[in-house]
Structure 1
Amino acid sequence: MKPKQSGILVCLVVAAMMFQYCSKSDTAAVAPTTPTLTQTVVTTVASPLLPGVPFNYSNAVFPAHVASVLPAVDNTPATNPITDNGATLGRVLFYDKNLSKSNTVSCASCHNPELSFSDSAVKSVGFAGGRTDRHSMPILNVRFYRSGKMFWDERANTLEEQVLQPIQNTTEMGMTLAELQEKLPALSYYPALFEKAFGTKQVTADRISRALSQFVRSIVTCQSKYDQVKQGTATFTTDERDGETLFLTAGPNGGGTCAGCHAPPMFLTSNPTGPFALNDPLDLGINNQRRFKSSSLRNIANTAPYFHNGSIASLQNMLAGNIPAHSVGPQDRQKLLAFLLTLTDNVTIKEEKFSNPFK
């Protein structure tokens, strides 16, 4: 065989071998695999849009009438103070649908900022289409709930305990903490966020809990007409003024005052003066006593329907209905309603630092 022909033959053999090798490699690369815990599938999403300098969460300035009550009712533990980087991480976690098993549900799905961090549905939709057992509770101003107990039935002793439970709930988000700790590091934006918040890139359930709690505690509404009146920059109408007087002194149907369970200026208390009872044979609430945790009345005009079962569709229905310690006489309803509307703060809930960073 001539040298030139030998060279051509060698080239053909080498080319054939390379083609065979590449074909095997390509086949191996696309072969279907069964996902394992360490191969948890995540949604491909753009990184959250965050400012170069984090928003101020740790040193928020509250008006005097709010700041004066905070030390006595603040449930922030010494082990988890609000930090700018911690709350920033919490904001991302709060809006990230990757915290659910199907990558379709986030904390904000049931606590929508456009609805004052509540849900207009009577019962919220979970990751697989199921419905929650109770109506979504608004999460505004929870920092001012002194006992720190969370959920309608107060089954969680702290906010840090509460924020992890919807993630693990088999209807709501469907994850396990082990899966979550494997899943989040696979998302490019989390290692740096965890490092800024906690000093290292390690993702743990405890850090997720702490960051989410910091963000939720930072959501405090104090820019309503009520707040302006208390700061001397606005005045109540006659109905609003009379409604405040009724709220503080008269009490519905001759019972305890509204303020006994919804103490100003944040309009909630973890030590109500009397038990709240709602006739619901299907749900007995706290310790089976037919009573439930009361949320802040701030922004109540934006958070219908009301109560743990979403059974009351409007404020008008609440004031006129046969609800223990809530219905009022016809002559007082318009005044009390006018006052409750002054508690709406549409400024805070639209602030960028509380908004969805994935938009």
Structure 2
Amino acid sequence: MHLKKFTVIAFLASMLIFFEYCSKNNGTNETTTGSLKPYLPNTPFNYNIIYPAYMGVTMNQDNNTPADNTVTNDGATLGRVLFYDKHLSKNNTINCASCHKPTTSFSDDIQFSEGFENSLTTRTSMPLLNIAFYRSGKMFWDERSLTLEQQVLQPIQNHIEMGLTLTELVDKVNALDYYPVLFQNAFGSNVVDSNRISKALAQFVRSIIPYQSKYDLVKQNLASFTNAEQAGEQLFLNAAPPGPGPALTCAGCHKPPLFVTSDPLGPFGLLDPADHGINNTDHFKVGSLRNIAVTAPYFHNGSVVSLQAMLTSNIPLHRVAPPDVQNLIAFMQTLTDQTTVAEERFADPFK
């Protein structure tokens, strides 16, 4: 009987050693702290993709990346770990991806996001795609943050969202044994401070640039629009909304090929009389239309739940003649790129 027990114990011990050996030799670096394990490749992912030539001019003109924080592979890798690390919240329950879900193109699929104690935010989480190409660099719906580097630290300090002070943030990151080598690789030393945390997060977020949609294939002569999609593109580029109001086309605010503008636009305050946006002017930041078909609900208060509702709303700039609605929706659906946002370099490293 004792011999059988000994045999079982010896077998289990050998299996543990075997699995430990395998985990150290499967091409990944694994570090364990508590129940979380960031899995990272030995060679970092490439976060400096060569994008299609037709995107280049706009990307160069509108890029808000500061000279002292260009995207590096090691910097974005550190940012990726920070983005998904729940230790960055007061009670270790919330990370950046809780409100900017990769499954919904780094937006949230509910009207108001839940914070670390289940309280709700007062605005819809803005999608993060193409955040690098808001030329002014100002962030949030009301542009209260002047740079992305400033913006990424504010949800961490928000009393509803993540609930930490910057001192608490640095202390928590310092206490985790998988960060020293990541900071060393990204910045040349393992010193942790809030400035480096913000820079790494900003590098990761700026690197989320969709470029593999049907629209992109068409612009490279690798695919063709359907008749409805082609008609929708012409409407998008050339048709002003009917009725009174500014004679702006869709492209006047959502400029191809990145479908972003630097100029906040209103009047979206009518969606919520209690929220008046930028300097109480009823103006709000204009989001990118990339992946718009999968990032509902829409607008700063999440009050519109579908593209159909958006294009038939009472917002003057979004009025579309009824016969044109379906064609315009067909075109906007060609902007969906589920391939890029699903790449492992943007995925949760703790899974």
TM-score, normalising length: structure 1? 0.86
- Aligned: 1:137 with 2:110: no
Equivalent residue for 1:334? 326
Equivalent pairs counted in the alignment come to 316
Displacement of 1:278 after TM fit?
A: 3.9
- Aligned: 1:302 with 2:294: yes
Equivalent residue for 2:138? 149
1:42-81 paired onto structure 2 within 5 Å? 44-57=34-47, 59-81=48-70
Displacement of 1:276 after TM fit?
A: 4.3
Displacement of 1:212 after TM fit?
A: 0.1
- Aligned: 1:285 with 2:288: no
Displacement of 1:63 after TM fit?
A: 0.5
Which runs of no fewer than 5 residues in structure 1 stay unpaired?
Answer: 1-41
Equivalent residue for 1:212? 201
Amino acid at match of 1:314: S
Residues 43 and 103 of structure 1 are in contact (CA less than 8 Å); yes or no, is this contact kept in structure 2?
no
Q: CA RMSD in A?
A: 1.3
Deviations 1:233-260 (A, max 9, x none): 0001111111111111112226310111
Residues 239 and 335 of structure 1 are in contact (CA less than 8 Å); yes or no, is this contact kept in structure 2?
yes
Provide the rounded CA distance (Å) in 2 between the counterparts of 1:304 and 1:244: 21
Deviations 1:158-194 (A, max 9, x none): 0000000000000000000001111111111011111
Displacement of 1:271 after TM fit?
A: 2.8
Deviations 1:201-238 (A, max 9, x none): 11100000000000000000010000000000000111
Residues 121 and 160 of structure 2 are in contact (CA less than 8 Å); yes or no, is this contact kept in structure 1?
yes
Residues 285 and 291 of structure 1 are in contact (CA less than 8 Å); yes or no, is this contact kept in structure 2?
yes
Q: Secondary structure at the match of 2:54?
A: helix
Equivalent residue for 2:317? 325
Displacement of 1:275 after TM fit?
A: 4.0
Aligned match for 2:157, one of 153, 158, 168 = 168
Displacement of 1:66 after TM fit?
A: 1.2
Provide the rounded CA distance (Å) in 2 between the counterparts of 1:140 and 1:347: 13
Deviations 1:34-80 (A, max 9, x none): xxxxxxxx9723330000000011x3110111122111100000010
Aligned match for 1:316, one of 308, 313, 317 = 308
Displacement of 1:83 after TM fit?
A: 0.5
How high is the sequence identity, in percent, across the aligned residues? 60
Provide the rounded CA distance (Å) in 2 between the counterparts of 1:346 and 1:86: 24
Equivalent residue for 1:93? 82
- Aligned: 1:257 with 2:246: no
> Which structure has the greater CA radius of gyration?
1
Aligned match for 1:239, one of 222, 228, 240 = 228
Cα distance, 1:225–1:276 mapped onto 2, change above 3 Å: farther
Residues 86 and 92 of structure 2 are in contact (CA less than 8 Å); yes or no, is this contact kept in structure 1?
yes
Provide the rounded CA distance (Å) in 2 between the counterparts of 1:43 and 1:125: 25
Residues 269 and 277 of structure 2 are in contact (CA less than 8 Å); yes or no, is this contact kept in structure 1?
no
Amino acid at match of 2:317: A
Q: Secondary structure at the match of 1:50?
A: strand
Residues 253 and 325 of structure 1 are in contact (CA less than 8 Å); yes or no, is this contact kept in structure 2?
no
Provide the rounded CA distance (Å) in 1 between the counterparts of 2:144 and 2:64: 16
Aligned structure 1 segments of 4 or more residues deviating by more than 6 angstroms: none
Equivalent residue for 1:30? none
